[in-house]
Chains A and B, each alone.
Chain A
Amino acid sequence: MNRTMTIAEMTLRETVRRRGVLVLLLVLPLAFYLGRRGDHLGQSIRFVCLGLAWVLSAAALFVGSAARSLEPRLRLSGYLTHQLFLGRLLALWTLGLALSAPYFLLIRFDQHHVRYGAIAVIMLLGVLVAPLLGLALSALLPRDLEGMLVLMTVVGLQMILDPAGNAARLLPFWFSREIGTYAIDHTSVGYLDRGLLHGAVTALLLLVLVAVGFGVRLRRRSHVRIVGGLS
């Protein structure tokens, strides 16, 4: 636990020292929010939730990529693979909560006649899923650019595809549209249930992907036998 917390602490320290990045992370969802606030208040909520998910995924992608050269050394120093990715996830989840809180407050005081609890659920699920998506991309793709292009494709499709269609359900943030409809348009609780289920399944699948991606990349090669050392 100490090792996982140390990774989380150092990841947070690294992230908060990138002040320019922090400002952009905070501002980008605001652009999403203000972009539709004038003509469609409900859409502005959906877009700000997607914006938060996008910036958190991007932050996770770059955190994962930046750590690539250091992680083999950390493995040799005694860290286990799951301690490395769980530590980074803890840091990113903390960052996600800190970024989402002001937007929840903004919606709370700027929007009326919406289900605030459901909006909080969208944000919490976004905070859970987005870092997993970014870290999975960083584990599976060797460079930032490839990961960023995939991420842009995912978020672009999320905005383009009809949320009622089956294809949209394969996208990682479909839950935000579904729960958003429940929160904004006051539809039946079935929307909330489907969204929750989708978010939970997506998070689980991405966690498995992260674990497998990190496990393969940081595996101890089969030709090495360590006697009396660290695993």
Chain B
Amino acid sequence: MRHEIWLAALTDELRRHGVGPDLAAHVVAEAAGHLRDSGEPPLRAFGPPSAYAAAVADSVGGPVTVAGSAPGPVRLRAVDIFKRYGRRTVLSGVSLTVHAGQVAAVVGANGSGKSTFLGICAGLVGADGGHVELHGTVGYCPQAGGTADFLLADEHFALIGAGRGVPRAAAVREGARRAAALDWVPGNAQARHLSGGTRQKLNLVLAGLGDPDVLLLDEPYQGFDRGTYLDFWHEVWRWRDAGRAVVVVTHLLNQLDRVDIVLDLSAGSTGVAA
């Protein structure tokens, strides 16, 4: 790999790992200097850009979080949620409170009721007991579906934007900006021609369009490559820092130390988190 390409990839990976621009520029300059002086191939000297960026991020503590700061007003309060499918109890007395500026992760094994719980929070699935309060507007990203096969990305932006009262041109601009944050440039492809991962990027962009107060994301990263997965979490942290309440259904545990609340539905379909 040529030096310039490796350094450019390192710059991207440092950004994805939440390393600030000043520090990233310094790291890249240091690496460039070392490569120039030593004449070593970059892969031999530093390894893959993603691995080196991860090591740098770990050494400086990763992205800045606002953990410990006072939470904002309550945005989502789910109290004592019960749900049965036939004789099978899926959720039993599950509660969750998420404030503005917080990220909650809903975790659990397959079939533990994570998506059902999110659907109940969104009001898309009925509950057999309990209640949900939503304060403000809601953006929802389903695990699958949620897009129209024969529409372009820009048309999706216009469609969701119209619902939120965002003018068409502004919605398309905002969609393109959010897509760029996920390393995606929407083109002229209909949704049915997008790959699974890119379709999920579209889904995620649609969820955030119009800056809803509460974001409910149901495993939105399916099909994402590793870099986009990191981009996704950075988007989540940006939402949190902008005062949004974010609920992410996930079964990947390696980001849980960076969320504010964890609701684990594995243990007997009950859980309380606040």
Contact = CB atoms under 8 A, between A and B. Distances in A.
A40 interface: no
A79 B138 CA distance: 12
Given A2-B162, A223-B131, A226-B134, A73 B151 contact: no
Of B132, B147, B163, B209, most buried by chain A (CB within 10 Å of CB) is B163
A221 interface: yes
Kindly name the residue among B146, B158, B162, B213 whose own CB sees the greatest number of chain A CB atoms within 10 A: B162
A224 B123 contact: yes
A72 to B, nearest CB: 5
B42 interface: no
Given A14-B148, A70-B146, A223-B127, A76 B122 contact: yes
A78 interface: yes
B145 interface: yes
Interface residues of B, number: 41
B213 A229 contact: yes
Interface string B129-143: 011111111111010
Give the most central of B81, B125, B159, B164: most A CB within 10 Å. B159
A224 B163 contact: no
A40 to B, nearest CB: 40
Contacts of B162: 2-3, 6
A10 B155 contact: yes
A3 B160 CA distance: 10
A228 B122 contact: no
A221 B133 CA distance: 12
B133 A225 contact: yes
Interface residue tally on A, bucketed by range? 20 to 34
Given A220-B123, A223-B120, A225-B131, A76 B140 contact: yes
A69 B159 contact: no
B126 A223 contact: yes
B266 interface: no
Contacts of A227: 133-136
Contacts, number: 106
Nearest to B167: A2
B50 interface: no
A76 B148 contact: no
B190 interface: yes
Given A79-B163, A229-B134, A66 B148 contact: yes
Given A13-B151, A14-B148, A74 B159 contact: yes
A69 B145 contact: yes
Given A18-B150, A225-B133, A229-B134, A77 B124 contact: no
Given A10-B148, A227-B134, A78 B163 contact: yes
B156 to A, nearest CB: 9
A70 B145 contact: yes
User: Residue among A7, A15, A221, A225 with the most chain B CB within 10 A?
Assistant: A221
A230 interface: yes
Interface of A: 2-3, 6-7, 10, 13-15, 17-18, 66-67, 69-70, 72-74, 76-79, 220-230
27 contacts: A7-B159, A10-B148, A10-B159, A13-B151, A14-B149, A15-B150, A69-B145, A70-B145, A73-B140, A73-B142, A74-B163, A76-B122, A77-B163, A78-B137, A221-B120, A221-B123, A221-B127, A223-B126, A224-B133, A225-B131, A225-B132, A226-B134, A226-B138, A227-B136, A229-B134, A229-B136, A230-B138
Complex A-B, nearest 4 residue pairs according to Cβ-Cβ distance, in ascending order? A77-B163, A69-B145, A224-B123, A78-B163
Given A76-B139, A223-B123, A226-B135, 19 more contacts: A6-B158, A6-B159, A6-B162, A13-B155, A14-B148, A18-B150, A72-B124, A73-B160, A73-B206, A76-B124, A76-B138, A77-B139, A77-B209, A223-B81, A224-B132, A224-B133, A229-B135, A229-B137, A230-B138
